Each structure stands twice: as structure tokens, then as C-alpha cells.
Homo-oligomer: A and B are copies of this chain.
Amino acid sequence: MDDLLQKMRSGDRRALARLISLVEDRDPAVRGLLSKVYNEREKIRTIGITGPPGAGKSSLTDQVIAILRGRGQTVAIAAIDPSSPFTGGALLGDRIRMNRHATDEGVFIRSFGTRGSLGGLSHATREVLLLYAAAGFDWAVVETVGVGQTELDIVDVTDTTIVVLVPEAGDTVQTMKAGLTEIADVFVVNKSDREGAQRMKADLELMVHLKDDPEWTVPVLLTQANAGGGVPELLAGIERHREVLAKSPRKAARRAEARKAEFLEIVLEELSERLALSLKEKDLSSVREALASGKTNPYAAALDLLQDEKALLAALRAGQSILKS
């Protein structure tokens, strides 16, 4: 572990990729390492980009990368794949658009699936951002497709959330008002040469003003990501938001909330692994058999265990070796 960490810090991308795989596999051995690098999290600037499929999020990310690289800054991308069997193919296609940066040492791109992790996507993504920070990147971009609830869960993970829309979605502004004004720090109307772009901008600006936030008025920006139009203004907006956030008491409150959530996620994930192990081969094997035969039901068995402190402790002891390894 320490060797991998050393290598990652010195710029070894394979070591970074290996550590990310351990995070994805929920390997408990990586938690000690994440504790060591935790305080470096503040050094990286993080952007979240979300929006419906086809809004041009990957093109926008691609252009943002180009500008940051032009300044000599390094960027790591976490592209979150909702891994739907119905949309899988299309997403892979999107990702290919960023490939022109694939040979650039200052850019790191990795896609993530969403299955398996107990704390869900936000938990694993936070851990990947810790690794990106420790690897020394200046910026991280988390790109999520807004097809389910994931784009809402992921919001707390980054400093600035950009919601990308296209003019075609204009008529749905009313229905999605609530959810989107909550999460957007910056709105982008992409493909702004299309009909209805100005109208959508006006609608969004109205929504934003209704929010009436004294600290930050969410800007609504027009872009044409394919040609790079409006992207420098987007980056300027992101940096302004960052400055406002840095001075805000909200930032400290958000950080404290995030730390509490992370703490709970880590403890629960570990307890979950221990219980599963107990159920498999140790103190809870009789519970397993009673469940399989139908002698008890899951609710009765759970309530019994929860009310029996000694049994609970024994069950939670089972996997301690996992932790120490």
C-alpha cells in the first residue's frame, strides 16, 4: 500500500489506476491509505457536470480540459456510468470524444460503474477524488449522466455543480424547476445556436432569481461546446463561484456535513462486511440456516439479533481480520 501511494504521488499513473480499482472493489485495505491522504483533499479544485443524455457534457468537459491544459494545469476526470443495460452503448460512445487527451500525461480519465457500493456512488466518488488530490492534480471533473437519482446524490461531492441543458428540453423547465435550482451552481444552455436557446436562458434566469440567494446568483451561460464557444466564460463562472464559496460560512458547514456522512458510510460498510462474513461462516451461520429453511423470517431474525447485545457483538467481531489486513 505505502509503496503504491509513493508511486502514485510521484506521478505513476498505473499506481493511481491500481488504487482506484481497489476503491471500486471496496477493498478495506485502502481505507488506511485514504486516512493518510485525507487532508490533501483541499488542494484540488472540483467540478461536477451533469445533465440529460445528449446535452453535450462530454464535449464541454473536453473543452474545459483543453483550456486548463493551455494554462499548464493538470486535470483528472471521473466519468460516472449509470450502467444501464438500455443506455450502456451510447455512453461509451460519448466517452470517446475525450480521447484526444488520452496521450496527454497531464490528463487522467477514468469511467466508473455504479453497482455494489453500500454508500452508493457518492461514497466511491469521494474516495476517487481523494486519490486524484493525492496524485497532485490541479482539477477534478466529475461527469454524471442525469438519468436517475445519481446526479442528485453526487452534488455534495464537488465544489461547483454545472447543470447542462439543451434548448429542446425547454418546455420541461416548469416540471424540473424544483430539483435543478436546488443542485445547480451554474446553468449552461449548450447548443446555443439552436432555436429556443435564448428563451430557455430567460426561463432559467427567472427560476434562478426566484431562488433569491444573497450570496450567489446562479449564472445562466450559453455555450457551443463542439466549437468551444462560451467555454472560457464558463470557467470564469466556476472560478467566481469558488471564490464566493471560499468566503461563505456555508462551505465550512457543508464540509462538516460531508465528513459526518463519510464517517457513517465507512463504519457501516465495515459492519456490513463483518455481518456478511458472520452469516457466511461464523457466528450467524445458524441464522443463515434458519432463514434458508424458513424457520425464521428476516425481520424476526434481525430484531432478535439487534436485541441481543452479546450476539450482535460476536457477529460484528467476525470480520475484524479484514480491517487489520
Interface residues, chain A, with chain B CB atoms under 8 Å away: 31-32, 34-35, 38-39, 51-52, 82-90, 92, 114-115, 118, 120, 146-152, 169, 172, 174-176, 178-180, 183, 256, 259-260, 262-268, 270-272, 275-276, 279, 287-288, 291-292, 294, 297-303, 305-307, 309, 312-313, 316-317, 320, 323
Chain B residue nearest to A30 (CB atoms) is B299
Q: Return chain B residues, CB-CB under 8 Å to A287.
A: 263
| Given A146-B86, A147-B86, A299-B38, also A268-B275 (CB < 8 A) | yes
Q: Report the Cα distance A39→B296, complex, angstroms.
A: 10
Q: Which one, B86, B271, B292, contacts A176 given CB within 8 A?
A: B86
**Contact in complex: A268, B266 (CB < 8 Å):** no
**Contact in complex: A266, B302 (CB < 8 Å):** yes
**Contact in complex: A299, B32 (CB < 8 Å):** yes
Q: Which one, B89, B148, B151, B259, contacts A114 given CB within 8 A?
A: B148
Which secondary structure dominates chain A's binding surface? helix
Q: Report the Cα distance A32→B172, complex, angstroms.
A: 43
Cβ of A249 to closest chain B Cβ, rounded Å? 13
Q: Report the Cα distance A264→B38, complex, angstroms.
A: 30
A-B contact pairs, 20 of them (CB 8 A): A32-B303, A38-B298, A38-B300, A83-B149, A85-B151, A86-B146, A86-B147, A88-B175, A118-B118, A259-B297, A259-B298, A263-B287, A263-B301, A265-B298, A266-B299, A266-B303, A268-B268, A270-B306, A306-B323, A307-B323
Chain B residue nearest to A178 (CB atoms) is B85
**Contact in complex: A114, B260 (CB < 8 Å):** no
Q: Which one, B148, B150, B152, B272, contacts A264 given CB within 8 A?
A: B272
**Contact in complex: A302, B150 (CB < 8 Å):** no
**Contact in complex: A38, B306 (CB < 8 Å):** no
Cβ of A138 to closest chain B Cβ, rounded Å? 22
Q: Report the Cα distance A302→B320, complex, angstroms.
A: 13
If A115-B152, A264-B275, A266-B303 are given as contacts, then 4 extra A-B residue pairs at C-beta distance below 8 Å, sorted by A number, are A32-B303, A260-B298, A267-B306, A313-B313
